Amino acid sequence: MKEMTFGQYYPTNSPVHKMNASVKILLVIAYIVAVFMVDYYHFLGLLACLFAIVIATVIARVPFGRMLKSIKGVIFLVVFSAVLQVFFNKQGTPLWEGGFITDEGLLTAGFITMRIVLIVLGASLLTLTTSPVELADGIEFLLYPLKYIKFPVHEFALIMSIALRFIPTLLEETDRIIKAQKARGANFESGNIFKRAKALIPVLIPLLISSFRRADELADAMDARCYAGSKVRTKYKKTTFGLGDLFGLLFFAGLIVGVVYLNGFYLYPYLVA
């Protein structure tokens, strides 16, 4: 759990770290849109998205090892989705006579796996290159028009920032509780799925108590500092739109255009027919 990187900040002096947080959020949204725009079985479009995230990681000076560790949190989802497609997708041609695994099932499993991994990598790069404070400011800036309909934009951004900040803390707390329970003789690895789920109860209850205690301590600390999110607040660090933000927008705009072009290239023979 300590090796999971989602929600953690990796501080370096890179052009991506210096970008406007609002722009980075928009770029990640555009990247996810580009991933979902790739038609099924068109792996060339996914490779273009992978190339984009690799280039962004190199520019951000984030080790590829830390990026790959972020996939650990969704391994179960990836494997589960792939197994469903392999064993229950009956479309296509069976790989052997009388077999139940088809070529289309394998292609769909590989496509969905790549799509999930690419989305997780994009979200992880955002959290690795953006501090929680900058992320909250970026979300608040993007949601600013909602203030006119009395939506608590600042409070909402603060909640999301705190939630991201406490992901690594809760993971460390969970790891500590599991080790303590194992030292007392608890077994989390043997038995069927129901016994394993039941064995997690001694972990979940202390984790919930610890989470409520941390939330109460944080609330007391904010109250002691006279924090009031509803009042007009000034920013310690003013964010600006720079040249790097412009290059980022142009780069990911080119990615979306490239994906649309590739989709049209693949679909062109069918449209002509």
Confidence band of 237 (pLDDT split at 50, 70, 90): low
The predicted model gives 169-196 an average pLDDT of: 78
Residue 233 domain flag: no
Q: Please say if the pLDDT value at position 178 is more than 80.
A: yes
Residue 94 phi/psi, 5-degree rounding, is -60, 145
Q: Please say if the pLDDT value at position 6 is more than 70.
A: no
Residue 231 domain flag: no
Residue 212 domain flag: no
Structure confidence by residue, pLDDT tens digits, 87-97: 777 776 777 76
Claim: this prediction has a pTM higher than 0.85: no
Q: Which domain holds residue 68?
A: 1-130+241-273
Residue 108 domain flag: yes
Residue 162 domain flag: no
Predicted confidence at residue 231, as pLDDT, reads 58
Contacts of 127 (CB under 8 A, 6+ apart): 5, 6, 7, 8, 9, 135, 164
Contacts 24+ apart (CB under 8 A), 109-115: 109/81, 109/82, 109/83, 109/85, 110/43, 110/82, 111/40, 111/41, 111/43, 111/46, 112/81, 112/82, 112/85, 113/78, 113/81, 113/82, 114/43, 114/46, 114/50, 115/35, 115/36, 115/38, 115/46
Number of domains in the chain: 1
Residue 144 domain flag: no
Residue 188 domain flag: no
Q: Please say if the pLDDT value at position 37 is more than 70.
A: yes
Residue 154 domain flag: no
